[in-house]
Chains A and B, each alone.
Chain A
Amino acid sequence: MKLSIGPIQYFWERQRVLDFYQQVADCPAEIIYLGEVICSKRRLLTFEDWLAIGNELQQSGKEVILSSLTLLEAASEMASLKKLCTNQSFMVEANDISAVQILYKQKQPFVTGPSVNIYNSRSLKLLAEKGLKRWVLPVELGLETLRDLQAERPEGVETEVFALGRLPLAYSARCYTARSHNLPKDDCRFKCIEYPDGRLLKTREEQDFLVLNGIQTQSALTHQVLDQLPSLRALAVDVLRISPQSEHTMHIVEVFDAALAGDDTDPLLETLLDLLPIGACNGYLLEHAGMNLNPEAKHETPQTA
């Protein structure tokens, strides 16, 4: 199984992003996703900047994919998407069906991100016929569905699983970070830059519940599948995605790399838990509520695909 680094979900200062990808160039992850997937107002890096980062990473031996915006509302966002899809250097991750349509019409192969709803084999087959080369399992789907999908997967299509990160749960026309500062989206003052891991939302009894990241809502807990690697391997998963956090992402990649190399998982899991902003969950993979953590399930291995 390979490791990928998913697109940065948050709004970071330009230099922070550049420094991050300098580190990425030397890390064990083979596949790197670049680009803004949440909000078109976040423009500290231009399209040309992303291409430049991509070129450098490619020269370091990485496979580079450009990720597209997840929720498209404005005509200008469609124009940017079209521009992204015409790039000749890198394959595009479609995070909305609009991108799939554009890429298909241009006869270009593509990747789909977790927000493109592939829930069954017929959908997967259909998209494979349109040029799908890799897809990311929608995050709420579990091992049983993954097993069934892998059993019928089309030739030449790689399967990627969201292996670590705060879960992308919802997208809105509203900007929740701005709203938490009593500001409308059109005058957001880029508040989301103040929250490099998103802004925490708690219940009225102080349970850490969700995270506000601009128009996206995430889980407060970090989904992690480190203790499920044997199952994922048995199901012939090709890529594990690590979603960047403001800190420790490279260390996390090393932990997963060590696990894939066969190192003992228990101490690695302990190390991993210390690197997360709040704590871990893995319910989705085990057909539970996403927020649950099920340590008793870690020794289960489903039937091989």
Chain B
Amino acid sequence: MELVCPAGNLPSLKAAVDNGADAVYMGFKDDTNARHFAGLNFTQRTFEKAVSYAHDKGRKVYVAINTFPQPAGFERWKAAVDQAADYGVDALILADMGVLDYASSKWPDLRLHLSVQASVTTAEGIGFYHDNFGIRRVVLPRVLSVRQVAHVITQSPVPVEVFGFGSLCVMVEGRCLLSSYATGRSPNTYGACSPASHVRWEETGDGTNTRLNGVLIDHYAEGEKAGYPTLCKGRFQVGEHTFYALEEPTSLNTLSILPELRKIGVSAIKVEGRQRSPAYVAQVTAVMRAAIDSCMENPVGYQAKSQWMRELSNVSEGSQTTLGAYHRPWQ
């Protein structure tokens, strides 16, 4: 199973490569990818350095151009595709049909991976993108149980990559508009969810409010650690109760089911976190590398070491982790 790690900037890319990632994924400094944050991503200069660093060590580089261009901006996505292709990267991670059509026609030899943002959860869906654009791999949304992933793999025309660690989207990726309902900006149209441009932290008499375009996402009492107001991770009132109505802040962690993922034929494990620090990338990559190696060497005897679990919890949202949708009762 290939280990695919996030590279939000050059230090993170180096951290990923140095700690054993087989491949890194990155994006340009604009809304052509779904981690469009200030201070993140690569310029022309750092991009070249990044590709060289990874390739010198025999690792692969994937470039995410996985948002959905509207007509006015389409030329910019084409330019991003061309730029990445020029640099000789190993694959593009794409979601939009128009961009896939462009990339597959203009660069027929360039590997295309289908982004989680394409929101494909079935073999038929994968077939559409395979038949029309020759995709060579698909990243599955985090809404399927392990059994459902297994079923997709048996019928998929291409290898399957799944998320193995990181912040969790609870809504099926590529079709979540919660952020644009509140702010006018969504991952699809702007490359970011719950964008910083609309975030406000408010000190009140009894703690901190976090707001997104004025909407109260959560309130933290004195001493409670305030989290970033990702819209779906707030506490809301439904009926009589105030609780994490959509999702708790938690991270996905598949360490305990790696042998199962291997058994059902998963080809690559993806770590989420291009917006996280190089320290995060180093830590998670090292743990996942050790765990995957251990699992591949001895799948039957494999155990998720408590030290690994501790190290991952330390870098997890809310300091806790979950199996998410892979585990049926979570749903």
Contact = CB atoms under 8 A, between A and B. Distances in A.
Nearest to B176: A170
Given A204-B235, A212-B238, A121 B71 contact: yes
Nearest to A139: B177
A123 B329 CA distance: 37
A120 B131 CA distance: 20
Interface string A178-189: 011000111000
Most buried by A among B69, B125, B241, B330: B125
Contacts of A288: 184
B180 A144 contact: no
Interface in B174-204: 174-178, 180-184, 186, 188-189
A290 B177 contact: yes
B71 A120 contact: yes
A170 B188 CA distance: 13
A97 B329 contact: no
A122 B175 contact: no
A144 B73 CA distance: 12
Interface string A75-113: 100100000000000000000111011101000000000
A26 B229 CA distance: 47
Contact of A126 (B68, B101, B172, B215): B101
A205 B144 CA distance: 34
A220 to B, nearest CB: 10
A119 B68 contact: yes
Contacts of B95: 117
B154 to A, nearest CB: 10
A115 interface: yes
Given A98-B122, A171-B171, A217-B246, A203 B143 contact: no
B230 interface: no
A207 interface: yes
B283 to A, nearest CB: 28
A193 B101 CA distance: 42
Given A71-B172, A170-B171, A202-B237, A290 B148 contact: no
Interface stretch (B14-22, B216-224, B287-295, B313-321): B216-224
Interface in B60-101: 68-72, 74, 95-99, 101
Contacts, number: 211
B170 A174 contact: yes
Given A101-B125, A169-B181, A290-B180, A123 B151 contact: no
Most buried by A among B151, B216, B242: B216
A207 B234 CA distance: 14
22 contacts: A78-B122, A97-B119, A98-B125, A101-B124, A101-B127, A120-B98, A139-B177, A140-B186, A145-B72, A167-B181, A171-B172, A171-B175, A172-B171, A172-B172, A173-B142, A173-B331, A180-B238, A204-B242, A210-B236, A212-B238, A219-B181, A288-B184
Interface of A: 70-75, 78, 96-98, 100-102, 104, 115, 117-123, 126-127, 139-141, 144-145, 148-149, 152, 167-176, 179-180, 184-186, 199-207, 209-210, 212, 217, 219, 283-284, 287-291
Given A101-B131, A204-B219, A290-B177, 11 more contacts: A73-B145, A97-B125, A97-B128, A98-B120, A98-B121, A98-B125, A122-B99, A173-B145, A174-B247, A199-B239, A204-B236
